[in-house]
Amino acid sequence: MTEKEKAEAGLLYDANGNPQVVQERLISQELSFDYNMLRPSQIKEREEMIRKYFAKTGKAFLIEQPFKCDFWYRVSIGENFYSNYNFVILAGNTVTFGDNVFIAPNCLFTTAEHALDAEQRNEGLEVALPITVGNNVRIG
Active-site positions read 114
Amino acid occupying residue 95: V
Q: Show the 3-state SS of the chain.
A: CCHHHHHHCCCCEECCCCHHHHHHHHHHHHHHHHHHHCCCCCHHHHHHHHHHHCCECCCCEEECCCEEECCHHHEECCCCEEECCCEEEECCCCEEECCCEEECCCCEEECEEECCCHHHHHCCEEEECCEEECCCEEEC
Question: Pick from 45, 80, 93, 95: which is nearest to 65 by CA?
Answer: 45
